[in-house]
Amino acid sequence: MTEATGKLHIAYIGVGLMGLPMTRRLLSRGYAVTVFDIVAGKMAQAQGAGAQTAHNAAAAVQGADLVLTNLPTPDAVEAAVFGPDGVASAIRPPQLLIDFSTIKVEQGKHNAARLMQQTGCHWIDAPVSGGPPASEAGSLTVMCGGDAAGIERIRPLMADVSARFTHMGPAGSGLAAKMLNQLIVGCIHVVMAEAASMAEAAGIDAARLPECLAGGHADGSLLQRLYPRMVARDFAPQGYARQLRKDLEMVEAYAQGLETPIPMMHQALTLYRKLIEAGHSELDTSAVFKLYEQRLI
């Protein structure tokens, strides 16, 4: 804990598209933050914002009160925590790990049990929704699974990084909620692209649709924030298309295990696979509009 602010010392592993703006948010709120990322440029950016840097994940954990991970894939989480010089080689009670990554539900449960067995430390799955702007503004939606005592302990931190923080149950519960979030988000992305395509074909001012529909049943954050980016052809990544495809593939596998039909989500996943095949993996998730614009459906 830092004497000047009374805030915790944070180890932050993974300062990419979501982790870097959250690091800036934590620094602005008075936390001491030590970061590690396999991409040197990302660490340099975090250092420029005021963070300390470490040469590996284990070194970042030394002296920290909480360990935060925010990584793009299940394999990246596995490597950062349980690989050589990973978090598990250094973390010890009363430290605990909060994973903001979106990974498979069963993997999250397994990771929590493995970390407890190896180190005696709790693992909290805490996937988020809201994108980089919300990460930097501290207005994320966070869905958590894990030990109730650990959840209570991190509430002050969550008050600084999120606008909504919900404990959904034991380990894996936050990830299950994120699967549902991504199911809804993926389907609505495709609906927004279809609406933009039809509006332009109809000859109306497509850019005015969010204003026109505001307050009605079709209104929502994606209509107000995502749809305008499609119409403007602004596909600078706030979330990579490849990441949403990865998430939808996890939703598909999870639903299969639950024996739950998800035909609409299957169609959204099909379109995101086509988008990646067309060479647009590094564009924003809103770039699914390109499939309609270029008649690739």
CA geometry: angle 281, 285, 289, nearest 5 deg: 95
Q: Which of 178, 246, 274, 290 is catalytic?
A: 178
Q: Annotated catalytic, 178?
A: yes
Give me the active site residues, please: 178
